C-alpha cells in the first residue's frame, strides 16, 4: 500500500526528464531531454511521476496520425501515477505527498509534470504505481464505450474486439461485473488460451479473428441462445467490422473507438499503404440501418477529458464498476520508451505496458 510522504521544501524550478518530439511524423524524432518545469499554476499541482501508462494512441500521436495531437513540439503520454510534490494556488482537497492517478492531455512521458487538480484521482488502497498508471485511459474507455454509449446491462450480449488488450480486458471485467454475456475476439490462438485461462471463460465464446471468424461468432451466439449482439465494442475497424455489424440485434449499438487495422508497423507512416487502406475501409449505409433498427456510435476519450467538470463523476463511476487491478503485461525503464512503443505497435502484447520513471519497490 502507498503511504504518504512528508512535505518537503522545494526549489522554485524543477529540472525534469521527458521524452519530447519536436514535430510528429516519425518515431525516430522522439528524444529524451532534460528541461526546466515551472512551478504549478493556479488550480494545478506538480506531480513527481513514478509510472507511465503506454497507449496505442502514443504511437499514433508520434506518427502524426492522431487528430488531437498538439501542433509542434510535445511530450506524448495520456496517463501516469506518482506523488504530489507541490500545490499551486487555490487547490483544495490534496496534500503534498498524496499518491495520485493522473489523466493528462499529452505530457505524461516525463519525471515531473504540472496538471489540473481536477484530473487527479486517489490511488485505490493496495495498488502499486504501475497499476495506478495502467488504469485511467483503458478503464475509462471501456466504461464510456460500454455504458453511457453502448447501454450495456445485465443480460446484454456484448462482442468485445481485441479482448486480451488493455481496453478489452477492462471491458471484459466490466461485463462480468454487470452480469452481461461477453463474447471475446482476439488476434491469435495464444491470446485465446491466455484469456480463457485468465477470466475463466467458456471456450465457445472466445473467437480468433481469422478466416473462421464469422463461423465463430455464430457459434458463440448459438451457445448463448441469442440471435445477435446488443453491443459491439471495436477498435480494430478491420475485416471483422462488417461481420460484427451484420450480427447486431435490433436496437443493437456498434461502438467504434479506434482503427488499429490502420497500424502498419515501422518508424514512420507509409502514406501509400494508408491511402489504399483508407479507400478500402468498410463503410455503412445509414439508410439501410433504419429498417434494421441498428445504431452506430464512435468516440474519442480526449473529448471526455475536455469536459473537465464531467470527468470526476466519470472516473468515480469507472472505479466503482472496474475494480480489478489492471494486468501489467510488461514494464520498461524510462530510457526504453522506444522499445515499449515498438512492443505496443507489434499487436502481440497482452494487458498493459508501463514505462517506469523510477525504480519501484514491490509494493510501489
Ligand X SMILES: NC(=O)c1ccc[n+]([C@@H]2O[C@H](COP(=O)([O-])OP(=O)(O)OC[C@H]3O[C@@H](n4cnc5c(N)ncnc54)[C@H](OP(=O)(O)O)[C@@H]3O)[C@@H](O)[C@H]2O)c1
Which residues of the shown chain bind ligand X in the complex (CB under 6 A)?
A: 55-57, 137-138, 141, 162, 164-168, 186-187, 191, 209, 235-236, 257-258, 260-261, 263, 299-301, 344, 347, 349
List strand residue ranges (DSSP E) for 146-235, in order.
157-160, 181-186, 206-208, 229-234
Closest CB to ligand X among residues 121, 305? 305
Closest CB to ligand X among residues 43, 148? 148
Give the three-class secondary structure for 255: strand
Q: Residue 162 to residues 79, 107, 277: CA-CA distances in angstroms?
A: 21, 27, 20
Q: Are 91 and 114 in contact (CB under 8 A)?
A: no
At 311, list the grid cell.
470527468
Residue 22's nearest CA partner among 67, 76, 66, 59 is 76
Q: Residue 180 to residues 2, 171, 216, 228, 237: CA-CA distances in angstroms?
A: 34, 11, 19, 14, 23
- Which backbone phi and psi does 254 adopt, to 5 degrees? -100, 120
- Output the smallest distance, CB 262 to ligand X, in A: 7
Contacts (Cβ under 8 Å, ≥6 apart) of 210: none
- Output the smallest distance, CB 354 to ligand X, in A: 12
- Output the smallest distance, CB 44 to ligand X, in A: 24
- Output the smallest distance, CB 289 to ligand X, in A: 21
The residue of the chain with the least Cβ separation from ligand X equals 187
CA–CA distance, 171 with 151 (Å, rounded to integer): 13
> Interior CA angle at 100 toward 94 and 106, to 5°?
110
Closest CB to ligand X among residues 99, 337? 337
Closest CB to ligand X among residues 137, 147? 137
Closest CB to ligand X among residues 96, 261? 261
- Output the smallest distance, CB 6 to ligand X, in A: 36
- Output the smallest distance, CB 363 to ligand X, in A: 25
CA–CA distance, 105 with 313 (Å, rounded to integer): 18
Closest CB to ligand X among residues 57, 123? 57
- Output the smallest distance, CB 5 to ligand X, in A: 30
Closest CB to ligand X among residues 5, 343? 343
Amino acid at each position: 500500500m502507498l503511504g504518504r510522504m512528508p512535505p518537503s521544501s522545494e526549489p522554485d524550478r524543477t529540472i525534469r526528464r521527458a521524452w519530447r518530439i519536436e514535430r510528429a511524423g516519425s518515431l525516430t524524432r522522439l528524444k529524451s531531454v532534460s528541461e526546466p518545469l515551472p512551478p504549478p499554476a493556479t488550480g494545478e499541482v506538480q506531480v513527481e511521476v513514478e509510472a507511465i501508462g503506454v497507449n496505442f494512441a502514443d504511437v499514433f500521436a508520434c506518427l502524426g496520425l492522431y487528430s488531437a495531437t498538439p501542433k509542434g513540439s510535445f511530450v506524448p503520454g495520456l496517463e501516469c501515477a506518482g506523488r504530489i510534490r507541490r500545490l499551486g494556488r487555490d487547490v483544495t482537497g490534496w496534500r503534498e505527498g498524496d499518491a495520485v492517478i493522473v489523466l493528462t492531455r499529452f505530457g505524461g512521458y516525463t519525471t515531473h509534470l504540472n496538471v489540473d487538480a481536477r484530473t487527479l484521482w486517489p490511488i485505490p488502497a493496495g495498488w502499486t504505481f504501475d497499476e495506478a498508471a495502467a488504469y485511467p485511459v483503458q478503464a475509462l474507455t471501456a466504461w464510456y464505450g460500454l455504458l453511457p454509449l453502448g447501454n450495456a446491462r445485465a443480460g446484454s450480449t456484448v462482442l468485445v474486439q481485441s479482448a486480451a488488450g488493455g481496453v478489452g480486458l477492462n471491458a471484459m471485467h466490466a461485463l462480468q461485473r454487470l452480469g452481461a454475456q461477453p463474447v471475446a475476439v482476439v488476434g491469435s490462438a495464444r491470446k485465446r488460451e491466455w484469456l480463457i485461462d485468465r477470466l475463466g471463460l467458456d471456450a465457445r465464446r472466445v473467437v480468433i479473428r481469422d478466416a473462421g471468424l464469422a463461423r465463430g461468432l455464430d457459434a458463440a451466439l448459438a451457445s448463448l441462445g441469442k440471435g445477435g449482439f446488443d453491443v459491439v465494442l471495436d477498435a480494430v475497424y478491420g475485416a471483422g467490422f462488417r461481420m460484427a455489424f451484420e450480427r447486431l440485434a435490433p436496437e443493437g449499438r456498434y461502438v467504434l473507438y479506434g482503427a488499429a487495422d490502420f497500424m502498419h508497423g515501422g518508424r514512420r507512416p507509409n502514406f501509400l499503404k494508408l491511402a489504399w487502406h483508407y479507400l478500402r475501409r468498410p463503410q455503412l449505409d445509414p439508410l439501410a440501418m433504419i429498417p434494421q433498427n441498428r445504431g452506430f456510435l464512435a468516440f474519442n476519450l480526449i473529448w471526455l477529458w475536455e469536459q473537465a467538470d464531467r470527468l470526476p463523476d466519470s472516473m468515480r463511476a469507472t472505479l466503482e464498476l472496474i475494480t480489478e487491478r489492471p494486468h501489467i503485461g510488461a514494464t520498461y525503464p524510462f530510457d526504453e520508451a522506444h522499445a515499449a512503443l515498438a512492443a505496443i505497435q507489434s499487436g502481440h502484447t497482452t494487458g498493459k505496458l508501463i514505462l517506469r520513471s523510477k525504480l519501484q519497490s514491490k509494493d510501489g
